[in-house]
Amino acid sequence: MPVKKILGVVQILIGLINLTLGITMMSVSLPSDGPKPTSVYTGYTIWGSVVFIVSGALLIAEEITDAYLISKLISLVMAIIGIIITALSLRDFSFEYLVCEDTLTSEKCAMLMGMDGVVLTLSVLESCINVFICFTWPRWE
């Protein structure tokens, strides 16, 4: 199996995992009155996941054109924006953790911070894949 198809499948899986984590984070934090992670407010896990899934599908389709490269660059920019959003979300939410313990259960706070950490890790992985693809795509033709 070619490397580009494997990377496409990995991108789709990253998108699906981020989407699942985002839906879970929103369903846990939105009904409560306590502080919420910044990533829940921005909805990055939803729109970022859609971009990653489309980007992975284009990679599997083997359409290496200039339009494809532009879609990869958009995916890379989205991954970088996601890294910034989730890093800021983790930073801000860790300062609000004491307030969070008063309004939510501490398990919910820890779960939200953990999910944000996983989303951050997957966004870093997605950006690494996109950098690899963007700098090596002419060799694939």
What are the pLDDT digits (tens) for 53-67? 888 888 787 666 666
Question: Model-level pTM?
Answer: 0.82
CA angle, corner 112, sides to 109 and 115, nearest 5?
A: 150
141 near 64, Cβ under 8 Å? yes
C-alpha angle 34-21-63 in degrees, rounded to nearest 5? 140
Instruction: Give CA–CA dist 124/85, Å, rounded.
Output: 12
pLDDT tens digits along 28-43: 877 766 667 778 888 8
Give rounded-to-5 percent helix, strand, coil for the chain.
85, 0, 15
**Domain spans of the chain, in order of start:** 3-140
